A and B are shown apart, each in its own frame.
Chain A
Amino acid sequence: MIIKIAEIWSMRISAATLYNIERTTDDNPVGGGGAVYIQVAGGLVADLLQFLRSEYPNNGEVIELEVGNFLSPTKPKEMLTFSSKSQGRMRIANQNRHRAIRLSAWSPEEGFPSLEAGQNTEDARAVLEQIEGLRIFLVRGEDGDVWAGYTVGEANEAQAKQPFAAINWGTATSGGYWRYEEKK
């Protein structure tokens, strides 16, 4: 199935985030349960809100987005939940696969990088260095449907020609937003 891309939002996954969404139920920091979400840094929030076509959510409010799995399009659509976080950041909620139902497109079953039980942020950093970067993306097709997926490593020759290559592969940027515009 070929989807003409209307918009894409992409974000590089940090070692801390990979650890947060991978650590097991008995691996808790002192004084709390620990984060189980994917944190969206303040610098990417405006791009994310543009993709979500939404205002920054008030505390306690959520933005929901129905997405498909980019590798398994026959799977039922799933719901992503976005909410605010301190200092103007945002979070993609409930993405620790041991404590919540991670989006299937970002699951190890679809090849998404994972950590062994007991591994820590440094291990996550080593994994990300080895694969030369990990990014999650949301694509809105021309028909309005949204697909979630991820990329690993640097762009190959063909990928490097994509107009959104800089935000969707490698480690040079933290991510961003791209929208297709008709050539005049």
Chain B
Amino acid sequence: MTVTPAQALAALADNKNVLLYGPPGTGKTWLLSNIINLLNSRPEAEGGRPVLNVGNPAEVFGVAGEGEIDLPLPKNMTFDWVTFHQSYSYEEFIIGKFPLPKEGGVVLQPFFGLLMNAAINLSESGPDAGHIIIIDELNRANASQVFGEFITEQPLRVQKTHMR
């Protein structure tokens, strides 16, 4: 099926995770790049076309750009793009220790990985904030090695969209 960037993002309204799958060469990575383009082109609050969000008491008035797509996303969206590979690990995605030079030697310094970093940033942001992690080539990494306990801790409710 043909999936548009807006449809893929709209699926996030009901699902924390959206999985795009299909044979090679069917445009999954291309779609991801277009999702990034769409997120980057979201209109700023100032200067956009005012809209009335009928039936939405939390935000009666909003802003949309000309030709915009109604995205069920917080206003202040940030995102990361990562490509998994065979060596991608828990230390990079959740938390790990990395060597840092110190006093002529090396110390192991703990670092938050992509997911933890995003979660911490969001916890310090307002209610209008959101974050999307786009993972390309998900199946190239060892899932249990990357996600660790988050496979069970995190409700991995997935909407699957098949591309062909």
Residues of A within 8 A of B (CB): 1-5, 8, 68, 70-73, 111, 139, 141, 147, 149, 151, 158-159, 161-164, 168, 180
Segment with Cβ contacts to A, from B59-67, B105-113, B130-138, B154-162: B59-67
Q: Which chain B positions have C-beta within 8 A of A163?
A: 50
Contact A5 B60 (CB under 8 A): no
Contact A71 B50 (CB under 8 A): no
Interface set, chain B 56-81, CB cutoff 8 A to A: 57, 59-64, 70, 75
Cα A71 to Cα B60 in complex, Å, equals 8
Interface residue tally on B, bucketed by range: 10 to 19
Cα A162 to Cα B48 in complex, Å, equals 9
**A/B pair count, beta carbons within 8 Å:** 62
Q: Which chain A positions have C-beta within 8 A of B53?
A: 1-3
Q: Which chain A positions have C-beta within 8 A of B52?
A: 2-3, 5, 70, 139, 141, 147, 149
Contact B57 A164 (CB under 8 A): no
Q: Which chain B positions have C-beta within 8 A of A158?
A: 45, 59, 62-63, 75, 128
Q: Which chain A positions have C-beta within 8 A of B59?
A: 158
What is the distance, in angstroms, from A18's C-beta to the closest C-beta of chain B? 20
Q: Which chain B positions have C-beta within 8 A of A4?
A: 49-51, 64
Cα A111 to Cα B57 in complex, Å, equals 10
Q: Which chain B positions have C-beta within 8 A of A180?
A: 49-50
Contact A2 B61 (CB under 8 A): no
Contact B46 A5 (CB under 8 A): no
Does B54 make an interface contact (CB < 8 A)? yes
Show 10 A/B contacts (Cβ-Cβ < 8 Å), sorted by A: A1-B55, A2-B53, A2-B70, A3-B53, A4-B49, A68-B54, A70-B54, A147-B52, A158-B75, A158-B128
Contact A161 B54 (CB under 8 A): no
Contact B55 A73 (CB under 8 A): yes
Q: Which chain B positions have C-beta within 8 A of A164?
A: 50
Q: Which chain A positions have C-beta within 8 A of B128?
A: 158
What is the distance, in angstroms, from A66's C-beta to the closest C-beta of chain B? 15
Cα A141 to Cα B64 in complex, Å, equals 13
> Interface 1/0s, chain B 95-114, versus A by CB < 8 A?
00000000000000000000
Q: Which chain A positions have C-beta within 8 A of B55?
A: 1, 70-73
Cα A164 to Cα B61 in complex, Å, equals 11
